[in-house]
Chains A and B, each alone.
Chain A
Amino acid sequence: MESRSATRPAAPSQSWTVELYGYPRLLAARKAVTIDLPADQPATATVVLAGLAALCPALVGPVVEAGGSRLVDGYVLNRNGRSFIADLTQPLAPGDVLLLLASQVGG
């Protein structure tokens, strides 16, 4: 289960890494995905999620909603291991790493 990336566009691009944990990792059969976006495109979690859905169609339905820009209830995105993202439309900072994981914790 290695990290994979989308085909790089010809134009200058920026890369975003999404680390997968738990069920999303099992479904996608990889630990992390690198999403390349055109440098002039505003980067938000929504946009990155759409890229993730395109690269990992197995996530669409169980984890990412059809359409690819929202998470199904039960999953959440964390930024850099520190803060959980409430608003997926907020811009990401260069170098941000997103973690996709279950929102239920505990045991």
Chain B
Amino acid sequence: MFGYHQRLLVVDLSHGRATVQPLTEATLRRFLGGVGLAAFLLDRECPAGADPFGPENPLILATSPLVGTNVTTSARFAVATRSPLTGLIGDSLSSSFLALEFKRAGVDALVIRGQAARPTYLTIRDGVVGFHDASHLMGKSPTATAAAIRAEQDNRALRVAAIGIAGERRVRFATISSDGRHAGRTGSGAVMGAKRLKAIAVEGTRPTPVAEPSRLKQAQARLIERSLGPATAKYRTLGTPANLLTFSRLGVLPTRNFQRSTFDAAEAVSGEQLYDRHLTRVVHCASCTVGCEHLYRTLAPPSDGASASQPPPPDDARLEYETLFALSSLLGIADLDLVIQAAARCDALGIDSISAGGTIAWAMECFERGLLTTRDTGGLELRFGNGATLLPLLDQIAHRTSLGEVLAEGSRRAAELLGAGSAAWAMHVKGLELPGYEPRGLKTMALGLAVSPRGACHNRLPVYEADFSPNLDRFRAEAARGALAAASEDSTAVLDSLMLCKFIRHCFDDFYRETADLLGLVTGWDVTADELRAAGERISNLRKRFNLRQGWTRADDTLPARLLDEPLSDGVGTGTHLTRDELDLMIAGYYQARGWRPDGTIPEERLRALGLDEASL
């Protein structure tokens, strides 16, 4: 078979065993790879009600048929587990050389079950698994862990996915890091930590078999040419930080925990400032021609006396828009040097910067309202704009010390623990903190954030594109937005299952036909656009089906009370409301577009039609 190895590697940490199971062609064709294959395996492996930190919750990694080819941006892998932050599907993606090595190891996916008795790291060499003591690696950053493993295995070719101290301490928004990139959202790093699995080191020698290599080479060349054109110009020049200043001007930049939608200091922390004053280099992910990743350097030396136990920031720190907004405007912080240091600190500790920023923003508002005092914060004056609190607080979270013990639970649980009405400004959906898009000024995006199966997510349902287009009024809610959201979710599911980067989504004139062509050239299948469109719909429904088994209810598809009760207080959208009726109207439109019941459940006949009923799975 082309494109796949048809091999699933299953590791049982409780018993120190590994086996290889076959993956059928029918399964692979229906779920493709990446997010789709990971969701299929998670649905199969994870019992209803499984404790996210228990041995029964699997941790799954999956590649795709395109991984290992030279199709631009395809060196990516997906991680899936039951999220400790949301209790629902937790999937995240990462781009790295690890994905290539994983595929070369001769497996398409990895399921990790159980829980090791002591700190462990795995080596996977051409599918053969080794179990190693990781006690001496505990407390190390992901980067230091990878270096230590390469040294002790005397193998510089090993590619390593690892967790930081936050994963070890089960911070519910801990990440899994590889090559400096992160499978970032929904806390898969904490699940890895609960399994006492510090790292996975991989190498392999098996190429990805391709059905039509010469024609694929031509298709690759066409895609590469487009990837260097106007469709990716923004990503190649300023990168995603360019969003910040624009969003502030458009009145959709979450600021001071969503109390405002513009930031007075937006110019000072803008992507333009980063580019002018801090940029050191632009780098590419493995197998990527776009090169969106911008590395920045501080202009001032670290000024963080409270974090002397941490290694100094690396010379260059990665900073994307989401990290930039979460550590600046969301907290009212206007110091780019500090934001760069904080981004590097998040990377070293292994925490999701969006959830970290969102949870700290909640705490700052609690402090300003008098619900938290310096006695709770270890002496920190936790006010918006007080940058001196940021690095110490990130350390507290990762180590679960002082207030960090509460914040490590994420904003939803932290608000439940504190009470006193603080849930009203805990800015999450389903437990996942909101990304950098103000929903009251982006009403199609508001729908996407409310209904996304993994919580407040801008990646699985990136329907903000409709709001930023001339085609509709972003301040208006209407039922028809439901069909837009469903279509966006399905095409994204295909992209995330083939493991192509979203930043090349506009490099296709006819997305389904052209991606079907790519898949056909790799696998030899006669794939049609309609087949891929159906696969996207199937994968979207499967992710929802998993949530239903884990206890999802209609009440979960909503937005934080602040967004539904308070109008925008500043910017071009001043006075704009997003009412509950408006949100319900759009959600009803989405359910209808999906063919679901009004309560958001999936009719059995719909599951059968998609091949997702028990008999088909």
Assess whether B230 is in contact with A19, with CB atoms less than 8 Å apart: no
Assess whether B232 is in contact with A23, with CB atoms less than 8 Å apart: no
Contacts A23-B237, A26-B238, A74-B234; A106 near B458 (Cβ below 8 A) = yes
Contacts A22-B238, A23-B238, A73-B230; A107 near B322 (Cβ below 8 A) = yes
Q: Please indicate the chain A residues that have their CB under 8 angstroms from the CB of B241 in the complex.
A: 107
Contacts A81-B572, A105-B243, A107-B320; A22 near B271 (Cβ below 8 A) = yes
Q: Is A104 an interface residue (CB 8 A)?
A: yes
Assess whether B465 is in contact with A106, with CB atoms less than 8 Å apart: yes
One digit per residue, 1 when the CB lies within 8 angstroms of any chain A CB and 0 when it does not, for chain B 134-149 equals 0000000000000000
Q: Which residue of B lies closest to A77 (CB)?
A: B470
Assess whether B234 is in contact with A102, with CB atoms less than 8 Å apart: yes
Q: Please indicate the chain B residues that have their CB under 8 angstroms from the CB of A21 in the complex.
A: 242, 245-246, 249, 272
Q: Is B316 an interface residue (CB 8 A)?
A: no
Q: Which residue of A lies closest to B459 (CB)?
A: A106
Q: Please indicate the chain B residues that have their CB under 8 angstroms from the CB of A74 in the complex.
A: 230-231, 233-234
Q: Which residue of B lies closest to A82 (CB)?
A: B572
Q: Is B321 an interface residue (CB 8 A)?
A: yes
Q: Which residue of B lies closest to A84 (CB)?
A: B470
Assess whether B242 is in contact with A72, with CB atoms less than 8 Å apart: no
Q: Is B250 an interface residue (CB 8 A)?
A: yes
A62, A80, A104: which contacts B506 (Cβ < 8 A)? A104
B249, B272, B470, B573: which contacts A19 (Cβ < 8 A)? B249
Q: Is A101 an interface residue (CB 8 A)?
A: yes
Given the complex of chains A and B, what is the CA–CA distance between A83 and B233 in angstroms?
22
Q: Please indicate the chain B residues that have their CB under 8 angstroms from the CB of A62 in the complex.
A: 233
Given the complex of chains A and B, what is the CA–CA distance between A12 and B470 in angstroms?
32
Q: Which residue of B lies closest to A86 (CB)?
A: B470
Q: Is B462 an interface residue (CB 8 A)?
A: yes
Contacts A19-B249, A21-B245, A23-B238; A104 near B232 (Cβ below 8 A) = yes
Given the complex of chains A and B, what is the CA–CA distance between A73 and B246 in angstroms?
18
Q: Is A99 an interface residue (CB 8 A)?
A: yes
Q: Is A76 an interface residue (CB 8 A)?
A: yes
Q: Is A78 an interface residue (CB 8 A)?
A: yes
From 225 to 266 in chain B, residues with beta carbon under 8 angstroms from any chain A beta carbon are 229-235, 237-243, 245-246, 249-251
Contacts A84-B470, A107-B243; A26 near B237 (Cβ below 8 A) = yes
Assess whether A23 is in contact with B230, with CB atoms less than 8 Å apart: no
Assess whether B471 is in contact with A105, with CB atoms less than 8 Å apart: no
From 529 to 560 in chain B, residues with beta carbon under 8 angstroms from any chain A beta carbon are none
Q: Is B525 an interface residue (CB 8 A)?
A: no
Given the complex of chains A and B, what is the CA–CA distance between A105 and B503 in angstroms?
10
Q: Please indicate the chain A residues that have their CB under 8 angstroms from the CB of B584 in the complex.
A: none
Given the complex of chains A and B, what is the CA–CA distance between A22 and B241 in angstroms?
9
Assess whether B473 is in contact with A23, with CB atoms less than 8 Å apart: no
Given the complex of chains A and B, what is the CA–CA distance between A22 and B246 in angstroms?
8
Q: Is B508 an interface residue (CB 8 A)?
A: no
Given the complex of chains A and B, what is the CA–CA distance between A22 and B573 in angstroms?
22
Q: Please indicate the chain B residues that have their CB under 8 angstroms from the CB of A104 in the complex.
A: 231-235, 503, 506
Q: Please indicate the chain A residues that have their CB under 8 angstroms from the CB of B250 in the complex.
A: 78, 81, 99
Q: Which residue of B lies closest to A20 (CB)?
A: B272
Q: Which residue of A lies closest to B251 (CB)?
A: A81
Chain A nearest CB, measured from B249 CB (Å): 6
Q: Please indicate the chain B residues that have their CB under 8 angstroms from the CB of A26 in the complex.
A: 237-238, 272, 275-276
Given the complex of chains A and B, what is the CA–CA distance between A99 and B249 in angstroms?
9
From 48 to 107 in chain A, residues with beta carbon under 8 angstroms from any chain B beta carbon are 62, 72-76, 78, 80-86, 99, 101-107
Chain B nearest CB, measured from A64 CB (Å): 12
Q: Please indicate the chain A residues that have their CB under 8 angstroms from the CB of B222 in the complex.
A: none
Chain B nearest CB, measured from A54 CB (Å): 22
A22, A25, A85, A107: which contacts B470 (Cβ < 8 A)? A85
Assess whether B468 is in contact with A105, with CB atoms less than 8 Å apart: yes
From 445 to 464 in chain B, residues with beta carbon under 8 angstroms from any chain A beta carbon are 458, 462, 464
Q: Is B309 an interface residue (CB 8 A)?
A: no
Given the complex of chains A and B, what is the CA–CA distance between A15 and B451 in angstroms?
44
Contacts A23-B237, A26-B237, A106-B464; A101 near B246 (Cβ below 8 A) = yes
Given the complex of chains A and B, what is the CA–CA distance between A86 and B471 in angstroms?
8
One digit per residue, 1 when the CB lies within 8 angstroms of any chain A CB and 0 when it does not, for chain B 97-110 equals 00000000000000
Q: Is B214 an interface residue (CB 8 A)?
A: no
Q: Is B469 an interface residue (CB 8 A)?
A: yes
Chain B nearest CB, measured from A52 CB (Å): 17
**15 additional contacts (CB under 8 A) given A22-B245, A102-B242, A104-B232:** A21-B245, A23-B237, A26-B272, A74-B230, A74-B231, A82-B475, A82-B572, A86-B470, A102-B233, A104-B233, A104-B503, A104-B506, A105-B468, A106-B464, A107-B321
Per CB-CB distance, the 6 closest pairs between chain A and chain B, nearest first, are A107-B240, A86-B470, A74-B230, A107-B321, A102-B234, A81-B572
Interface positions of A (Cβ within 8 A of B):
19, 21-23, 25-26, 62, 72-76, 78, 80-86, 99, 101-107
9 A-B pairs within 8 Å (CB atoms) are namely A21-B242, A26-B238, A73-B231, A80-B572, A83-B470, A102-B233, A104-B231, A105-B243, A107-B321
